[in-house]
Amino acid sequence: MLVFLMLGVTLATAQADRVTVHVLAPMRDGFVDTSKGIQDSIKDVSSRLGRMREFQLVDTREKADIVLTVITRGVGVEAYGQRMSYREYFNNTILTSEPVLVNTYWVTTVMEVGQYRKELLGSRTREGTSSMGAWGGCAEQITEDLQAWVVANREQLKQRSKIPQP
């Protein structure tokens, strides 16, 4: 019985050390602004985050330490350039500059922690016209960048989570 109790305490402590993340599509005028591609990328990113020990996925924005919005995805420079030409990109988030070639697959997300916003971009360049797992590679790059950000900012995140939520 003591072993089960100790195991439960250890698991509860491990859960408490995890950063909660909610992954979603953008909202516009009260509607979910999504597409099949965005939904596929949400699944890709969520699946990878679910396998990382630092993170726990949650089902609402209110339960999350970090909100990760999958904004859009595309292939090539034309679509990427259109993304950058949008002047007030997702509440004035600072954009990442990335060289994009014709066969570059990319997914752009915005990480939010309170008022802080940062774009996380995943991109993969492929020879030929087949994606050959490029979308999954984009999701992997995004989750690795998120993981690196969390490691660098763990103390700030802990302090934020101690502040009572309204």
The Cα 10–Cα 2 span in angstroms is 12
pLDDT of residue 103: 79
Question: pTM for the full model?
Answer: 0.77
> Which candidate, 107, 136, 112, 130, places its Cα nearest to that of 38?
107
Least confident of 43-52, 54-63, 80-89: 80-89
Tokens 């969390």 locate to 150
The Cα 3–Cα 34 span in angstroms is 47
User: Which residues fall within 8 angstroms of residue 91, CB to CB, at 6 or more apart?
Assistant: 110, 117
160 vs 51, higher pLDDT: 51
| Domains (range + CATH), the chain | 20-161 (3.40.50)
Residue 163, pLDDT above cutoff 50 = no
94 vs 22, higher pLDDT: 22
Q: What is the pLDDT of residues 122-154, one digit of tens each?
A: 998 876 665 678 999 999 999 999 999 999 999
What is the bridge-based pairing of β-strands 19-24 and 55-57?
parallel
For residue 10, what pLDDT band results from cuts at 50, 70 and 90?
very low
The mean predicted confidence, pLDDT, of the chain is 81
The Cα 79–Cα 67 span in angstroms is 24
